[in-house]
Structure 1
Amino acid sequence: MEASVFAIEKIIGLAISNHLFLTYSSVDSSTLLLLCAANVSTEKLARAVVRHGLHNYVCHNMVSIVDKIREFADAVDGEDDCVIAMYGGLVEAPKILADIMESIVIVVFIDVDFDLTKLWVV
C-alpha cells in the first residue's frame, strides 16, 4: 500500500514540476523545487478539493471527520486567497481531502494513457 501512495505523490509532483518547468523556464532549479514542494502538500491538495466542492461527496461514518472537513472548508471559504497562497491556513487540512485529489489524479493519469501534458490539462 505504501508503494502505491508513494507513486501517486510522485505522479502529482512530476505533473506539477513539468508544468512549472514549462511555464517558468527561466527560473532556476532550486526555486522550481521550492514551488513544486509548496504545491504538492496535503494542505494545497485539500484546498483544491474544497475549492471545487468535492468535499461534499465524501462518504464516511465518523462524526469527527465531518466536523474536521466542515471546519477546514469553512476556514478556506473565509480566507483571503493572497494571504493563504503564502502562509497557509489556520485550520489543519484533513488528510482525507488530499486523498481525494490524489485518487482523482491517478485515475485521470491512467485515463490519459500516462501523458503528463494531458493530465495537466484535465
Structure 2
Amino acid sequence: MEAQLEINYADDNKPLMTNDRPQMSVAGADPPDWPPLEEVEEILGYSFADKRWLEEALTHASFRRQQEEAAAAAAGTSGGGVSYERLEYMGDCVLNLIVSREQFFRYPDLMPGDLTRLRAANVDTEKLARAALNHGLHRYLRHRKPQLGDQIEAFVEEIAEYPVHSNGLVNAPKTLADIVESLIGAVFVDSHCSVDTVWKVFKRLLEPIVEKETLRVHPVTELYEMCQKRKLRLEFKGSWKQGIDVYVNDQLAGRGNYESKKEIAQNRAAKDALDNLGKIVLLLEDGEDDQIVD
C-alpha cells in the first residue's frame, strides 16, 4: 500500500511551479577543476528532463551572488540570482514525507513518538552530510565559500571513528546536507512531483537506512533515562566553550568539549559519563569518593 500525492499540472503537462522559474546559465563560468554536472545524473541514476533544475540544485548562494552582482554592476541594475535554497526547502519537505510514509507502512504498530525519532535519525544533518560525502556530491557544488573545504576535511577526520553515525558527537557541515536536500527537491519537481521517483533515487544514496532495531538514543537522553531509572541525581556544569562536566550524585562522571557547538559538547560529556557510569554506581554503592574522571 502506498500513499498518493495529487499535483495539478498546466496544459503542457508540466508542474505549474515551473512556468515562472528564472533562466540560468553557467556557460564559461566554472573553473576547469569543477567536474561537469552531468556526472551527478550518473551518481543519482536519474536523467533530468530539465537540466536547469540540476544546475540550480548545485549552485550555492555565494557563487550565484558573485556572478549576478558583477553582471548587475556592469548593467547598472540590481543583482539577485538563483541558488539552491528554494530547492533545499522543497527537498527537506519531500524527504520528511517519503521517510515518514515508508516508516508508517513498514511499522504499523509503532507509536508517533517512536516514528518521529526514527525519521529524525534518517534525515538529520550528519546522515545527509555523510551521504553527500560518500557519493562525492560535494565535488559538484558551485560555490565561493573558502572555509567549506576545511569544514569537510575536519568532518572526514571526525567521522573516521564512527563508521555509521556519531550520534551527535561530531559537527557535520550543513552545506553537505543542503546538497542532498536540494537534489531531492530538484528530482521531485523535474519528475512532475513524483514521490515514488524520489524515493527510488535517494533510498540507495541514504543507505544504510536506520531501522527500528538499529535506532540509537542520543547520549544526553540515554544518560538522563539511566539516571532516572537508578534514581541518581544528574547535573551538567561548566561553559561549553571551555568544557562541560557531568556530575552524578555530586561525583564527577564525565567531561566533554567542543568550541563551536554546545549540543556536541554536551553529547560528548554525556557519552563520557555513560562510559563511566558503571564504575560510578559501584563507587556510590560502596560509599567511596574515588575520582573516576581526571
The bucket for the TM-score relative to the shorter chain is 0.7 to 0.9
Determine the C-alpha separation between the residues in 1 that align with 2:97 and 2:116: 11
Quick check: which has more Rg, 1 or 2?
2
Q: Does 1:93 align with 2:172?
A: yes
Q: Residue in 2 aligned with 1:29?
A: 112
8 Å contact kept, 1:45–1:97: yes
Q: Is there any run of 5+ residues in structure 1 with no aligned partner, and where?
A: none
Give the partner amino acid of 1:74. E
Note closer, same or farther for the CA distance 1:66–1:11 as it changes in structure 2 (3 Å cut).
same
Contact 1:8 1:106 in 2 (8 A): yes
What value does the CA root-mean-square deviation take over the aligned residues? 2.4
Bigger strand share: 2
What TM-score, normalized to structure 2?
A: 0.36
Distance 1:54 1:6 in 2: 18
The Cα shift of 1:77 comes to 4.5
**Cα drift, residue 62 of structure 1:** 3.5
Give deviations 1:60-109, integer Å, cap 9, x for gaps. Answer: 3343211001221333345232xx26x2342x111111110011100111
Q: Which residue number in structure 2 is paired with residue 67 of structure 1?
A: 150
Partner secondary structure for residue 142 of structure 2: coil
Residues in 1 aligned to 2:125 and 2:144: alpha-carbon distance in whole angstroms:
22
Q: Are residues 77 and 55 of structure 1, via their aligned partners in 2, closer, same or farther at CA, if it must alter by over 3 Å? A: farther
**Higher RCO, 1 vs 2 (CA within 8 Å, ≥6 residues apart):** 1
Residues 132 and 138 in structure 2, CA contact (< 8 A), matched pair in contact too:
yes
* 1:5-60 deviations in Å (ceiling 9; x for gaps): 54432211111111111222232222111111222222221111112121233333
Runs of at least 5 residues in structure 2 that lack an aligned partner in the other structure? 1-82, 202-294
Q: Does 1:43 align with 2:126?
A: yes
Q: 1 or 2, which has the higher helix percentage?
A: 1
Q: 1:53 aligns with which of 126, 129, 136?
A: 136
Runs of 4+ in 1 over 6 A off after TM superposition: none
Tell me the matched-pair count. 117
* Cα separation, 1, equivalents of 2:108 and 2:191: 25
